[in-house]
Amino acid sequence: MNFHYQSQQDYLERFLTHLTVVRNLSEATLKAYRCDLNGLFAWLARENAPVLDQQTLLQYFEMLQQERNLKAKSLHRKFISIRQYCEFLNQENISCETFFRFNSRKFILPKALPKTLSMREVRDLIEATQDEYEALESEYHKKICLRDSVILELLFCLGLRIGEISQMNVDDYNREEETLLIHGKGRKERMLFLSSPAVAKKLMGWLKFRDCFRPSCNALFVNKYGDRLSIYSVENIFEKYKRKSMINPMATPHYLRHSFATQLLNNGATIRDVQELLGHNSIVSTQIYTEVSYARKKEVMMRYNERNFLF
């Protein structure tokens, strides 16, 4: 297929429209597709490549591996984006090229276990917000601290992603049923029950003070200007109390989600239960947590290993 930069840009827009209509992908996902494909187009333009075919694609991925030293996860994502784009070109009869002679198994993904916090670390993190709240004299800063405490509580109590925290709206919380509507990845929604009375009480406290910030939107969590709290603000909140509590310095907000899932399995929840609560499409994504659920493994071995009862 002949390569013309402007033509590929036009095809890209058609491809993204197709993804929006057919698969209803989120803006963040569409942005990732655009970034991956523009990276390919820019490289082809710099190399003065006359065609987009299997040979140039192979050279591109070799460059990403050998010169840019991209990790397997990044290579795999780009492979998926570019492959789907090429399939779209063929489906739309824009091209009849066989673009790939290799598959994604070329990029072996390392099996990284989910990183978690101990329950002691989770307690220390939450207690850091409580200690700060009690030490503050300014009512304004107390309200900010309460907001931050609720955010950290929900990250662990419900196993949420930071994007899901940011996208929460006031009317997503049903006070009578004590449920929260979660807007997950890929525009998927799930309903979660707020099982902790202590967290529910904190959330109600924040809702009482939220209007003091003169919200400009319906966001559940707002900043001092009344605007929706961004994912970067949520990350900063976690970083602040991570330092104060002196827990694992490498921890990220996602550690709380991993800890939530692992503790559910440790306490007897089924893998299907955890899959639904986390909002995973496939149970394969959830099964990784069984690898770190030591307590559950120990229980199974103690209860069901026949060797324990021979003599």
- List the catalytic residues: 161, 185, 254, 257, 280, 289
Cα–Cα dist 146/129, whole Å: 8
Quick count: other Cβ atoms within 10 Å of Cβ 177? 10
Decide if 95 contacts 89 (C-beta within 8 A): yes
Residue 87 bridge partners (DSSP)? none
How many whole angstroms separate alpha carbon 134 and alpha carbon 23? 48
Looking from the CA of 202 toward its CB, the CA atoms found within 13 Å total 23
Vertex 105: Cα angle to 102 and 107 (nearest 5)? 95
Rg of the chain (C-alpha set): 24
**Which residues, other chains included, contact 197 with Cβ-Cβ below 8 Å and sequence gap of 6+?**
none
The pair of structure tokens assigned to 46 is 């710099």
Distance separating the N- and C-terminal Cα atoms of the chain? 72
